[in-house]
């Protein structure tokens, strides 16, 4: 299976690694991935709008009253994952490494 590759300006071959998944339960909604992405792959949404909101195994849930409603916290979601160019800039700036990426095979 041949993987999709690209060339740098200097002629060096590289293999892009495209976003596959974003784990919203790990996301803190900092927006770094959104700001660094050149292709509008991400969108900020309310945590409660996601399917797995309110799960009991949320490692980032807190039990203290800090004045914020955890149910209405904003997190990133994948708006247009097929627009990803495989640069992995989002992964490099994410403090919680919420995303998974992988190279993609060329269509046959």
Per-residue confidence (pLDDT) for residue 94, from 0 to 100: 97
Per-residue confidence (pLDDT) for residue 66, from 0 to 100: 47
What would the two tokens of residue 63 be? 């039990």
How far is it, in rounded angstroms, from Cα 67 to Cα 54? 18
- Averaged pLDDT in 10-residue chunks for the chain of 108 residues: 94 97 93 96 87 51 52 87 97 96 93
Its pTM stands at 0.76
What would the two tokens of residue 54 be? 């309110």
Q: How many CA atoms lie within 13 A of 32 on its CB side?
A: 15
What would the two tokens of residue 31 be? 């927006």
Q: Where are the alpha helices (DSSP H) in 9-84?
A: 32-36
How far is it, in rounded angstroms, from Cα 75 to Cα 31? 8
Domain 16-50+72-98 has CATH 3.30.70.20: yes
What would the two tokens of residue 106 be? 């060329």
């Amino acid at each position: 299976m041949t993987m999709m590759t690209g060339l740098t300006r200097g002629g060096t071959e590289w293999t892009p690694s495209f976003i596959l998944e974003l784990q919203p339960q790990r996301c803190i909604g900092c927006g770094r991935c959104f700001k660094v992405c050149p292709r509008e792959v991400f969108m900020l949404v309310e945590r409660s709008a996601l399917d797995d909101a309110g799960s009991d195994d949320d490692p980032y849930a807190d039990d203290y009253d800090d004045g914020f409603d955890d149910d209405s916290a904003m997190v990133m979601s994948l708006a247009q994952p097929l627009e990803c160019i495989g640069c992995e800039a989002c992964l490099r700036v994410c403090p919680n490494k919420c995303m998974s990426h992988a190279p993609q095979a060329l269509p046959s």
